[in-house]
């Protein structure tokens, strides 16, 4: 019988430069965002992005902390304060799926994906 066990993940699984895209709604308005972020392999993300909410374009600086559990699930908490996400990481760290669980601007239904561009 095949095993359903996952590989061993940790904060070190996320390491290097990633590009990400997220889409959804924020307070009932359409949202799309693209980012370039760097994971330090120790629980920190930094980067920048462009977000469009209902046609209004803004740039954002990204500073975040993250945790990755051994089953390759985890959480991310970022600036602005109050923004948090749940995530699932591919065992080799090359791909991450995430969903916003709290947003400081209000009701959010936002999900996305990040793909590693290069390791540090």
Structural domain spans, the chain = 11-116
User: In which residue are the tokens 């930094």 written?
Assistant: 46
Backbone phi and psi for residue 11, each to the nearest 5 degrees, phi listed first = -55, -30
Q: To 5 degrees, how large is the angle CA 78–CA 59–CA 28?
A: 75
Nearest residue to 88 via CA among 73, 109, 99: 73
For residues 47-52, give the mean pLDDT.
Answer: 97
- pLDDT, tens digit, for every residue of 19-34? 999 999 999 999 999 9
Find how far residue 71's CA is from the centre of its chain.
Answer: 17
Which residues are CB-contacts of 47 (< 8 A; sequence separation ≥ 6)? Answer: 35, 36, 37, 38, 61, 62
| Strands (DSSP E) found in 1-120 | 15-26, 29-40, 44-53, 56-68, 73-78, 83-89, 95-102, 108-118
Architecture of domain 11-116: Beta Barrel (2.40)
- pLDDT, tens digit, for every residue of 74-106? 999 986 678 999 999 999 999 999 999 999 999
């Amino acid at each position: 019988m095949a095993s359903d066990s996952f590989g061993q993940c940790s904060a070190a699984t996320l390491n290097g430069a990633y590009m990400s895209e997220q889409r959804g709604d924020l307070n009932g308005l359409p949202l799309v965002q693209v980012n370039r972020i760097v994971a330090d392999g120790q629980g920190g993300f930094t980067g920048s992005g462009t977000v469009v909410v209902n046609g209004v374009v803004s740039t954002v600086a990204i500073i975040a902390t993250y945790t990755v559990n051994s089953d390759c699930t985890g959480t991310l908490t970022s600036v602005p304060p109050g923004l948090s996400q749940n995530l699932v990481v591919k065992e080799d760290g090359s791909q991450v799926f995430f969903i916003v669980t709290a947003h400081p601007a209000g009701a959010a239904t936002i999900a996305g994906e990040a793909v590693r561009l290069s390791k540090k």
